[in-house]
Amino acid sequence: MMDRLGPIQAATGEAEQRLDGRVLVADDNEANRKICGMFCDLLGLSCEYASDGAEALELVRRGTFDLVLMDIHMPGMDGLEAAIAIRRLAAPICDTPIVAVTTAAESADVARYRACGVSDVVSKPIVASRLIGAITTALVSAPAEPRSWRPLAGGGG
C-alpha cells in the first residue's frame, strides 16, 4: 500500500493520509476523469464517473457520495446547473461537498460558483497538490452540522 503513495508524495512533497469515501467525478473529457480518478484511487477513495451534469445529478440522486468533483463546462446540463440542482435536493444529499475542476477559475468565476453551491475550485490544468488538498479538505473538514442551504436566486447566470 505504501508503494501506491509514492506518486502522491512525489506530487506534493509530503506523505498524504489515506482517506475513505466515495467520489463522483463529473467531466465530459475522459482524460480529466481518469486523472481525477487516479488521484482519488491513490488517496484510497472509490470513484464513479459521469460525462455531463444530467448524469452526475442522476447518480447523486441514486447514490451516496462523500464528494463530487465537477467540471463546470460540459454539454447539456453543465456543472454549475448540476451543482444548483444538487443543492436543491433533500438533506443530507444537498450537503455533499462539490469541488469545481475547471479552466474558468478567475476570482469572479469562483465567487459565482460559490454562490451556486460549489465548496472549492481547482483550476485546470490540474496541479496535483491543489487537487489533493481540495479533496482532503472537503472530506476531512466536513461540517459537523449539515449545511442544508440553498443557492442564491439567479446564481447560475
pTM above 0.85, yes or no: no
Would you list the domain boundaries of the chain? 2-6+13-133
CA torsion 26-33-38-137 (nearest 10°) is: -40
In 3-state terms, what secondary structure has residue 68?
A: strand
Sheet holding 120-123, edge to edge: 46-50, 22-26, 67-70, 98-102, 120-123
* Superfamily of domain covering 2-6+13-133: Response regulator (3.40.50.2300)
Q: How far apart are the first and last CA of the chain?
A: 45
pLDDT in tens, 105-136: 788 899 999 999 999 999 999 999 999 999 99
Q: To which residue does cell 485546470 refer?
A: 124
pLDDT in tens, 48-67: 999 999 999 999 999 899 99
In 3-state terms, what secondary structure has residue 87?
A: helix
